[in-house]
Amino acid sequence: MKTRYWTWLAWPLGALPLGWIVWQAASGAMGPDPAETFVKAIGWWALVLILTCLSMRPASQLLKVPGLVIWRRTFGLWGFIYACLHFLAWATLLLGWDPSVLGQELTKRPYIVVGTLAWLAMWPLAATSTRKARRRLGRKWTKLHKLIFVTLVLAIIHQYWVQKSGYGETVVFASVAAVLLLYRLLKDRILVKKQP
């Protein structure tokens, strides 16, 4: 495996935005509402990392760099870590784990419910991200990991719902997601046709 030596690079790459966000927070560059800004920034990057994760297989096929597929898992795990931090920062910094407020937010606010579901759907994927689990689950693993698309769609709805208006970013996220989904569908068909 000649490509192996650079595959670890996805780990520091995924850590870069987090480092930047923490630096901004620590240096007081997050304005007059830093906790809110922090929570939003982490959430934004969680979505970007999920999209990055899902771009890795198409990228490896189109660029003919097979090693890129290994980055898929790393970016997926980073997406999960950012989603966890997003949830934790929201519950801790903004709500202070106040049980009554937390209960209200988690039941009465559709965008929070949708966001939480998107995050929960990532847990089984993170839990089965090891090579061992993949080998043990076999075909079931592939099926299970289609859950990432549920996460993706819910996360985009969440991102759309959080805003008052201004849908530019949602349009970009949704378009990238649509391209990734379409690629997957078309690619599968092409592969099926090629089989005798």
Partner 1 sequence: DQVAKAMDGKPDSDEALTPYQDVTHYNNFYEFGTGKTDPAANAHTLKTDPWSVTVAGEVEKPGEYALEDLLKGLQLEERIYRLRCVEAWSMVIPWVGVPLASLLKKLQPTSKAKYVAFTSLADADQMPGVRSPFTGIDWPYREGLRLDEAMHPLTLMAVGLYGRTLPNQNGAPFRLVVPWKYGFKSIKSIVRIELTDTRPQTTWNMLAPNEYGFYANVNPHVDHPRWSQSRERRLPNSFFDPNWVPTRMFNGYDQVASLYKGMDLKKYY
If one asks whether residue 164 binds partner 1 (CB under 8 A), the answer comes out as yes
Candidates 52-60, 92-100, 113-121, 122-130; binding stretch for partner 1 (CB under 8 A):
92-100
| Residue from 99, 139, 165, 192 binding partner 1 (CB under 8 A) | 165
Q: Out of 96, 99, 138, 196, name the contact with partner 1 by CB under 8 A.
A: 96
> In which element (H, E) is residue 170 found?
helix 168-194
| Closest to 17 measured CA to CA, from 79, 91, 92 | 79
* Burial call 146-169: b when 16+ CB within 10 Å, e when fewer: eebbebbbbbbbbbbeeeeeeeee
Q: Which residue has the tokens 């990057």?
A: 45
Q: Establish if 175 lies at the interface with partner 1 (CB under 8 A).
A: no
User: Is residue 77 helix, strand or coil?
Assistant: helix
Q: Is 66 a binder of partner 1 (CB under 8 A)?
A: no
**Can you tell me which of 15, 110, 146, 182 binds partner 1, judged by CB under 8 A?**
110
- Residues of span 111-150 touching partner 1 by CB under 8 A: 111
Least Å distance, CB 102 to partner 1, is 12
Rg, C-alpha atoms of the chain: 18
Are 83 and 119 in contact, with CB atoms under 8 Å apart? yes
Give the residue, chosen from 18, 65, 94, 102, that forms a contact with partner 1 under the rule CB under 8 A: 94
Instruction: Determine the interface stretch with partner 1 among 13-21, 79-87, 105-113, 181-189 (rule: CB under 8 A).
Output: 105-113
**DSSP element (H, E) containing 54:** helix 34-63
Cβ proximity to partner 1: between 43 and 76 the closer is 43
Binding part of the chain for partner 1, among 43-51, 62-70, 90-98, 115-123 by CB under 8 A, reads: 90-98
Range 51-87 burial, b when 16+ CB lie within 10 A, else e: bbbbbbbebbeeeeeeebebbbbbbbbbbbbbbbbbb
Site map (CB under 8 A) of partner 1, residues 14-33, x = contact: -----------x----xxxx
Name the token pair of 136: 């043990």
Site for partner 1, rule CB under 8 A: 25, 30-38, 93-94, 96, 101, 104-105, 109-111, 161, 163-168, 171
